[in-house]
A and B are shown apart, each in its own frame.
Chain A
Amino acid sequence: MAGMFNSSVGRKFAMALSAFFLMLFLVMHVSINFTSVFSADLFNEMSHFMGTNPVVQGLMQPILIFGVVFHFVMGFILEAKNKSARGVSYAKNVAKDNSTWMSRNMLLSGVVILAFLGLHFYDFWVHEMTIKYVEGDMSGLINPDNAESGFRYYEELREKFVSPVRVGIYIVAFVLLALHLLHGFNSAFQSVGANNKYTKALTGFSKVYSIGIPALFIFIALFHHFTH
């Protein structure tokens, strides 16, 4: 079985498993973020739980980081192998006649998402890690010396979306994520061997998921930008 991941089929299988994991994570992430639209308190409570729970922080967070890194590294490895499989390009090639733009540009959309993740990590993750583990403030309060000051998460979230440039970057990144998912969702199922009588229904669901999840993220960013 160890040799499985040295094969082209095995690597695609591993890529698909990491994709399933990340797609599930996106559902959880957008669900928590969406609470900020209708309840600052609920968003604060959930953020504090996720940010201080030892299982989430000590187990789930490292798994998530591994999943993200694995997905990107494997993507680059597969792309390098694919590039080397065709040394000379065609003088004329009309790929648009037989495949979608999304399917041919997964690396491009992936790299844009990777660049966005850099900004996202800087905005939220590095900020959180610094407060909690460098400054040692695990309270989650706006003023750690004042228990009545309330949690800081909601205010920090809204502060991030004041800048129209940052909101614009978020929108571009999530449009690219939608394009990435529009091919990646079904592709992951194909890679694990699931292409059967349910595939047609799955294709319909994949469109709802691939457009719906990024659209919700964009809506949340715009909501906080215009209501701040």
Chain B
Amino acid sequence: MKLLLKIWRQKNAEDKGGIVEYPVDNVSPDMSFLEMLDVLNQDLIEKGEEPVAFDHDCREGICGTCSLYINGRAHGPDTRITVCQLHMRSFNDGDTIYIEPWRAEAFPVIKDLVVDRSAFDRIQQAGGFISVNTSGNTQDANAIPIEKENADKAFDAATCIGCGACVATCKNSSAMLFVSAKVSQFALLPQGQVEAHDRVLNMVKQMDEEGFGNCTNTGACEVECPKGISLENIARMNREFIAASIKG
């Protein structure tokens, strides 16, 4: 396959950055998208040019590290996958492919296609946990009966890998889907009930302080989420937040 890549290049956080074109040849349809970028980088290194910086780690769709906006879609044209699971057979010979970093003020570009997603870490640290006594007297979690429906919903919410595709695709750069998934995975379980009110208030407060936008319920985040996190979680977080605010 012959492709024209239009890649966002930015030397550092202060650099203005811009799109640079890279024609590539001999791309195998069986390559993964990241392998295609690896080959491009090998060529750039051999030519003495700076390789394109991009995030990647497990390359199995579970770590949430890869984060590219490809041809106007978070994680590319396919659904329910991360970039590392995207293969070049999803494109056609002769295609022009735009490759950009996640765009959000809360996710500043560090270099090229790499963004700083530590805002998510700070939101998690604000309340995305349960406080458990680890003295050895902790009750076995499996001894607590949990309604099957709630257990399933909590598990579904917990599959969020925190990649940030929801923020990247939302026209408001809202982080509501991510935060709501983290709130829901605990709110649905008895272990999470003790700190439920503080959790939702603190996580929403941190989310706002990080500069993410408001949710306008377009549903784009749910469509682009590689794990299919449901908008139901946002509604649940709204309920939790309103109830916690009223109770004070």
Q: Which of A79-87, A126-134, A147-155 interfaces with chain B?
A: A79-87
Min distance, Cβ A76 to any Cβ of chain B, angstroms: 12
Query: Does residue B245 face the partner (Cβ distance < 8 Å to A)?
Result: yes
Q: A4-B242, A85-B172, A98-B224 are in contact. Are A195 and B232 (CB under 8 A)?
A: yes
Interface class of chain B by DSSP: mixed
CB pair B213–A82 under 8 Å, yes or no, is yes
A82 touches which one: B6, B172, B234 (CB < 8 A)? B172
Give chain A residues whose Cβ lies under 8 Å from the Cβ of B176: 8
CB pair A104–B100 under 8 Å, yes or no, is no
CB pair B72–A86 under 8 Å, yes or no, is no
B105 touches which one: A1, A84, A195 (CB < 8 A)? A84
1/0 per residue, CB under 8 A from A, across B190-229: the answer is 0000000000000011011001111111111001100000
Query: Does residue A90 face the partner (Cβ distance < 8 Å to B)?
Result: yes
Query: Does residue A93 face the partner (Cβ distance < 8 Å to B)?
Result: yes
Q: Which of A24-32, A44-52, A183-191 interfaces with chain B?
A: A183-191
Max chain B CB contacts within 10 Å: which of A1, A91, A103, A196? A91
CB pair B219–A193 under 8 Å, yes or no, is no
Max chain A CB contacts within 10 Å: which of B204, B212, B241? B241
A98 touches which one: B71, B169, B173, B246 (CB < 8 A)? B169
Q: Which of A10-18, A33-41, A115-123 interfaces with chain B?
A: A10-18
Query: Does residue B69 face the partner (Cβ distance < 8 Å to A)?
Result: yes
CB pair B235–A195 under 8 Å, yes or no, is yes
Question: Can you list 23 A-B contacts with CB-CB less than 8 angstroms, sorted by A residue number?
Answer: A3-B245, A4-B245, A7-B204, A7-B208, A7-B245, A8-B208, A82-B172, A85-B173, A85-B211, A86-B103, A86-B104, A94-B71, A95-B220, A98-B223, A99-B223, A104-B171, A104-B218, A187-B217, A193-B239, A193-B240, A193-B242, A194-B235, A195-B231
Interface residues of B (CB under 8 A from A): 6, 8, 19, 69, 71-73, 98, 100, 103-106, 169, 171-174, 176, 204-205, 207-208, 211-220, 223-224, 231-232, 234-242, 245-246, 248
Interface residues of A (CB under 8 A from B): 1, 3-4, 7-13, 78, 81-82, 84-95, 97-100, 103-104, 106, 183, 186-187, 190-196
